[in-house]
Amino acid sequence: MRKADRVAGPATSRSIAPGDAKTPRTERGRRTLRAILDAAAVEFGERGFHEASISGITRRAGVALGSFYTYFDSKDSVFRALVRDMSAQVRDHVGPGVRAATDAIAAERAGLEQFVGFVRRHKEIYRIIDEAEFVDPASYRLHYATTAERIVERLRAGAQRGELRDDVSEVHAWAVMGMNVFLGLRYGVWDEDRPVDEVADTIADFLRRGLSP
């Protein structure tokens, strides 16, 4: 996978200019925007929003400082674009595994497994989404609200199929999401001292007992 695809690749059908970016009209413009977005992901991931600088982004992208403002209105606006893009990436990477699962518990197990694996490979995404809580609260809320929504739908579908208890609710969904996020932080970002498999097995067993009818 080419580097640029990480941020705006064809695999996910996301447009080249997510969020607030101005759409380039020429091929050269498309290349520049792509370079800026990639560089921004690295810069924000390494230094965090406030330590990051526009000049750091353009230096990494190999373009002039002013070129940044050809595509974005402000530092905030790249960050917003990035958060939305990464939120979508998490969804796109976790989704297939979940949908391929044979039952409700297997689905949640797959979700956790994919998620922890994904954050191991993209630690900067974890950081960027988390920092959105302070920089772009709206996107942050949206990300987690949407994620919880998806989980509760899966749980309810499982209940209807008789695989889970009838009283599964939003509370369970937030609990599951909270587990995933913190397990991702602990076993994905901070330390990889435990196989993802093992963590997923442990949690799957826990959920099976806790949520079965």
Query: Taking contact as CB under 8 A, which single stretch among the options 16-24, 44-52, 66-74, 103-111 is the one that binds a second copy?
Result: 44-52
Tokens of 113: 């497994």
Q: Which does residue 65 bind out of a second copy, DNA, none, counting CB within 5 to 8 angstroms by kind?
A: DNA
Q: Are 90 and 161 in contact (CB under 8 A)?
A: no
Sole binder of a second copy in the list 133, 149, 153, 192 (CB under 8 A): 133
Nearer Cβ to DNA (19/210): 19
Measured from the Cβ of residue 141, the count of other Cβ atoms closer than 10 Å reads 12
Tokens of 166: 């009838």
- Residue 46 touching a second copy (CB under 8 A): no
Smallest distance from a second copy to CB 138, Å: 12
* Interacting residues with a second copy between 111 and 130 (CB under 8 A): 127, 130
Nearer Cβ to a second copy (8/86): 86
**Residue 47 amino acid letter:** R
Residue tagged 């995933």 (tokens):
180
What are the residues whose beta carbons fall under 8 Å from the beta carbon of 72, sequence distance 6 or more?
A: 20, 21, 22, 36, 78, 81
- Residue 134 touching a second copy (CB under 8 A): yes
Cα(9)–Cα(183) distance, rounded to whole angstroms? 28
Q: State the distance between the two ends of the chain, measured CA to CA, in whole angstroms.
A: 43
- Which residues contribute to the site for a second copy (CB under 8 A)? 48-50, 127, 130-131, 133-134, 141, 144, 148, 169, 171-172, 174-175, 177-183, 185-187, 190, 194, 198-199, 202-203, 206-207, 209-212
